[in-house]
Chain A
Amino acid sequence: MSDFGRLVRAEWTKFRTVRGWVLGTVAAALVTVLLGLFVASNSISSCSNGTVDIECPALPLGPDGQPVRDKFFFVHRTLAGDGAITVRVTSMQGVITYPPPDHDKIVPGLVEWSKAGVIAKVGTAEGSRYVALMVTAEHGVRMQHDFVHDTAGRPGAVSAGTPRWLRLTRAGDRVTGEESADGAAWTEVGTATLAGPVELGLFVTSPSDLTVNNGAGGGSVQARLATATATFDNVTATGTPPGDDWRRDDVGAELNPDGTLHHPGGVEQAGGVLTVSGNGDIAPLAGESGPGVQLVLIGLVVGLIVVIVVAAVNGSGELRRGLIGVTLLASPRRGRVVAAKAVVLGAVAFVTGTAAAALVIPLAWAVLTDNGFRQPGLPLPTLVRVAVGTGLLVAGTALLALGLGLLLRRGLAAVGLAVAVVVLPYLMAVIGGLPPAAAEWLLRLTPAAAFAIQQVVPEYAHVLAGYTPASGYYPLPAWAGLAVLAGYAALALGLATARLRRSDV
């Protein structure tokens, strides 16, 4: 065995022969799992049909299995093979309805991501595949397909003076979107594939008008019903069966208890001019999308405190008791001693975190499903990613605490500092009632940035939602968050090594 291998083995023997440290590590995993299950079993989903409690309806799922919102007004014909639809959009307007009782008023206005355009969709069921080309209120022409894909076209809003021509053409499986300002010069926006018979037609929809208050309480999100209305003319469809009528569907509309449609859209036709209005969205579900990984991993916070205590005391105890003298007699090269300690503690913490996450996420999710939640479980690759990420988060935290313990030589100071920089920022950002802007800065600058591994649903630029830490959205991507934590841990271990090298023991 190599010198370093022997050293790692010695440090592992040291770790496993102190009962408190082994029990602490097991306790950290156990508390993470048990708190997750406790929280899951006390989270109940209830839905009501006006006055009567009913089982919550299943969420519509997109082609990749993620929950989606798929509600719009649809004027369509069936297209079996090749074909195209061309329209001209000449106006787009909207109204925003403030809910009773405080702001019961209706004001004109368009939400920035309200959409009007042409769409080819596999049937009218929510969550089915589609390709759409649209104008938006503030983001110009966009081509979107299958909920998560978004390509930008010509910017600018639509009006009678600046109309937009939109054309979707299918040849084989290939759907091409083109736009034009005058109906003569066309520009390609993008392409996508869509096979089989599709419904081809016009659509209008508008997401709710959101206000994210940057206030205490983690910020609050207010949503108001918004309806968009667009005017289409020069509508031509090719490839559809001759004599096929334009059919109308309020895709995804909910029913009121009396059987009427809740917030219906509509269409009016005058000659060749169609005025279509709708509300909803065609987008992945984001923001307040129900309990997620953050909920079932909540016990990790307590588990991390336990791991911090074990790791910090592991580092400081060696120096406080003069045990480091014995260690350095056995292996005089000091940098290697720190490295061997880091390898052992990091590995133990990584296994602990990974195992705890891999156990609690599926278990707690099963409990949540029993309690009426309709979120689909994490796909295996995502579960593996989150479990490994959790392991890295726990390992990075342990290394930071070890480094602080070796550097400060006082277990208490190291525990206090590690908890203050890893756990507290997360708590304050997620539940501490900090304004979202402050919370995001905490999750960028402190080691708590690594909690970003808990975010499994990405933030979509083309979907309006309250993307706040309190609802599970982190300002940094997972790898960057882990890198921030790793940087702090490396700094602490580096300073500890430098101090150990320079000092007499």
Chain B
Amino acid sequence: MSRVLYAEWTKLRTEPAALWLVPCFVVVTVLMSLFAVASASCGQGGCGIDPAVLSLAGVQLGQALVVLPAVLTIGGEHSTGLLRTTLTATPRRIVVLAAKAVLTGGLALVAGTAAVLGCVAVGRAVLPGNGIAALSLTDGPMLRATAGSVLYLVLIGLLALGVAAVIRDAAASAGAVLALLYAVPLIAAVINDPELQRTLRRFAPMTAGLAVQATTDLQRQPIGPWAGLAVLAAWSAAALLCGGLAFRLRDP
């Protein structure tokens, strides 16, 4: 396993496109958060802003840049036929997929931590100037929102990897994952059947997973913070399982 992991890491670090996406992701995420917190303002009497959700708004956009390298690790090898070489070197396909998952998750963990901490710093620097009290990382709920956002990004990466193992074409996989992530919350936002709305938000990967960012009005969230992250984890696990099966059974 460690040899396979090392080989995968060597492939990744010698592929400039995937590595470029990491700093891009951090910058885009932090900038989006800056944009959100800088444009927020509150009338007198407060306006129900959750400072954690607002500070971490960049994650909603940044996750797209976690999806791309994740689907590339499989889709890229398919399109060039490199996967055949990989599987000749390591015939145990599940080990290859596991190594890719460890690498994708690890990369998302490192980059996600940097990006999320950047978002928190931006929130703390800008929000008080707009009359909104920012939370510190020493507050329990804020720590949960921060650590949860990093885990969220890791799980999104794994979800994308699993989907890519099933669909194989990188561009189509990215389209499918992004549609899954963004379409459900969109639909939930516009229908006005509160029961169905709540159900959709509870089971959609993005809305359930991002519930971990909430620090105020927890009872108004469709799902509890950790339970929401568990829903996303179930999505990722299911995607990896299907991906693993497809990866094993189909000819590369």
User: Which positions in A face B, CB cutoff 8 Å?
Assistant: 35, 38-39, 42-45, 103, 211, 213-217, 220, 291, 294-295, 298, 301-302, 305-306, 308-309, 312-313, 316, 320, 410-416, 419-420, 423-424, 427-428, 430-435, 437-438, 441
Contact = CB atoms under 8 A, between A and B. Distances in A.
Q: Which of A35, A291, A313, A416 has the most CB of B within 10 A?
A: A416
Contact of B183 (A291, A301, A416): A301
17 contacts: A42-B192, A45-B192, A103-B45, A215-B54, A291-B190, A298-B187, A301-B182, A305-B175, A411-B171, A412-B171, A412-B174, A416-B68, A419-B174, A427-B185, A428-B32, A432-B57, A435-B54
A43 B61 CA distance: 28
Interface stretch (B69-77, B141-149, B234-242): B69-77
Given A413-B17, A416-B65, A428-B61, A213 B174 contact: no
A399 B60 CA distance: 26
B211 to A, nearest CB: 13
A441 B31 CA distance: 14
A407 to B, nearest CB: 14
Contacts of B82: none
A214 B39 contact: yes
Contact of A438 (B39, B48, B185): B39
B171 A414 contact: yes
B202 to A, nearest CB: 15
Contacts of A217: 48-49
B172 interface: yes
A302 B65 CA distance: 18
Contact of B48 (A215, A414, A427, A437): A215
B110 interface: no
A309 B39 contact: no
Nearest to A426: B186
Contacts of B75: 412
B204 interface: no
B85 interface: no
B64 A220 contact: no
A212 B71 CA distance: 41
Interface in B51-94: 53-54, 57, 60-61, 64-65, 67-68, 71-72, 75-76, 79
Q: Which of B40, B61, B170 has the most CB of A within 10 A?
A: B40
Nearest to B54: A216
A71 B76 CA distance: 63
Majority DSSP secondary structure for residues of A touching B = helix
A86 to B, nearest CB: 41
A434 B186 CA distance: 14
B191 A43 contact: yes
A100 B75 CA distance: 57
Interface string B24-54: 0000000010011011111101011110011
B186 A298 contact: yes
Contacts of B53: 216, 433
The 3 closest A-B pairs by CB, nearest first: A411-B171, A438-B39, A213-B47
A420 B24 CA distance: 12
B19 interface: no
A411 B75 CA distance: 10
B126 to A, nearest CB: 12
A213 B170 CA distance: 41
A43 B193 contact: yes
B179 interface: yes
B182 to A, nearest CB: 5
A215 B64 contact: no
Contact of B182 (A103, A306, A424, A437): A424
Q: Which of B42, B45, B172 has the most CB of A within 10 A?
A: B172
A431 B189 contact: yes
Contacts, number: 144
B109 interface: no
A305 to B, nearest CB: 5
Contacts of A215: 40-42, 47-49, 54
Nearest to B67: A416
Given A216-B54, A302-B183, A305-B179, A42 B196 contact: yes
B7 interface: no
A289 to B, nearest CB: 14
Contacts of B189: 430-431
Given A298-B186, A433-B53, A419 B40 contact: no
Nearest to B72: A412
A433 B58 CA distance: 11
B35 A424 contact: no
Contacts of B170: 411-412
Given A309-B171, A313-B171, A320-B79, A427 B39 contact: no
Contacts of A441: 35, 39
Nearest to A408: B17
A480 B3 CA distance: 56
Q: Which of B35, B50, B65, B192 has the most CB of A within 10 A?
A: B192
Nearest to B42: A215
B76 A412 contact: yes
Nearest to A423: B182
B246 interface: no
Contacts of B38: 438
Given A43-B193, A216-B49, A423-B178, A435 B39 contact: yes
Q: Which of A215, A220, A320 has the most CB of B within 10 A?
A: A215
B41 A435 contact: yes
A384 to B, nearest CB: 24
Contact of B192 (A35, A43, A211, A427): A43
B138 to A, nearest CB: 23
Contacts of A430: 186, 189
B20 to A, nearest CB: 10
Nearest to A44: B193
Contacts of B40: 214-216, 435, 438
Contacts of B57: 216, 428, 432-434
Given A216-B50, A416-B67, A428-B60, 16 more contacts: A214-B41, A215-B49, A215-B54, A216-B40, A320-B79, A411-B169, A412-B71, A413-B68, A414-B171, A415-B174, A420-B64, A423-B178, A428-B57, A431-B189, A432-B60, A434-B39
Contacts of A412: 68, 71-72, 75-76, 170-171, 174
Nearest to B35: A438
Given A213-B42, A216-B49, A432-B57, A415 B171 contact: yes
A427 B182 contact: yes
Given A213-B47, A301-B186, A305-B178, A434 B36 contact: yes
B171 to A, nearest CB: 4
A358 B41 CA distance: 39
Nearest to B53: A216
Contacts of A301: 182-183, 186
